[in-house]
């Protein structure tokens, strides 16, 4: 059902956890649907210096969360904003069709975290 790459990320997810003093936090999904993801980012000089995730959901939800943190780490905010759901799925060697829209939310959570960071910056008058 899942690719070996998905299972690898499910078994040993990268960057799992919280960043207590995160610069941006993005949450997408809903426990009612079975998937809920939070992405935390730490930003320095317009780059994602650190990124972590918390996920409630299926194997695909965990693997996409892990993968998106790998893809985003070290990228500028502009580069990270361009990471798509498709990129995440491709890097994992594909996802089962039914999981493409329900559990492939990690890119959205990353974008929400970047938006949250930008909003906070505006609020601080920077």
Partner 1 sequence: MAAKRIYMDHTAGKPVDPRVTEAMLPYMSALYGNPSSIHSLGQEAKQAMENARAKVATLINAERKESIIFTSGATESNNMAIKGYAYRSKDRGTHIITSSIEHMSVMNPVKYLSTHGFKASFLPVDQYGFVSLESLEREITPETILVSVMYANGEIGTVQPIKEISQIVHAKKAVLHVDATAAIGQVPVDVQAEGVDLLTISSNDIYGPKGIGALYMKQGVRVEPMIHGGGQEQGLRSGTENLPSIVGFGKAAELAKAEMQAESERLVKLRDRFTRGLVGAVPYSFLNGHSAKRLPNNVAVRYSFIEGESMLLSLDMLGVAASSGSACTAKTLEPSHVLIAIGLKHEEAHGSLLFTLGKQNTEEEVDYVVGVMPDIVKRLRKMSPLTPKELKE
Site track 80-99 with partner 1 (rule: CB under 8 A), x = hit = ------------------x-
Active site residue 102: yes
* Biggest alpha carbon–alpha carbon distance for the chain: 49
What is the closest distance, in whole angstroms, from the C-beta atom of residue 51 to partner 1 in the complex?
15
**Helix, strand, coil % (nearest 5) of the chain?**
45, 25, 30
What is the closest distance, in whole angstroms, from the C-beta atom of residue 82 to partner 1 in the complex?
25
35-44 and 47-56 strand pairing = antiparallel
24-30 and 47-56 strand pairing = unpaired
Total of residues contacting partner 1 (CB under 8 A): 27
Residue numbers at the binding site for partner 1 (CB under 8 A): 2, 7, 10-11, 13, 16, 27, 31-38, 54-62, 98, 102-103
């Amino acid at each position: 059902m899942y690719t070996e790459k998905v299972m690898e990320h499910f078994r040993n997810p990268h960057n799992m956890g919280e960043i207590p003093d995160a610069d941006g936090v993005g949450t997408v999904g809903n426990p009612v649907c079975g998937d809920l993801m939070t992405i935390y980012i730490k930003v320095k000089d317009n780059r994602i210096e650190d990124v972590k995730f918390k996920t409630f959901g299926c194997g695909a939800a965990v693997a996409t969360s892990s993968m998106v943190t790998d893809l985003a780490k070290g990228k500028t905010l502009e580069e990270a904003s361009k990471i798509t759901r498709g990129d995440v799925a491709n890097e994992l060697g594909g996802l089962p069709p039914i999981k493409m829209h329900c559990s492939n939310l990690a890119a959205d959570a990353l974008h929400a975290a970047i938006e949250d960071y930008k909003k906070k910056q505006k609020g601080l008058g920077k």
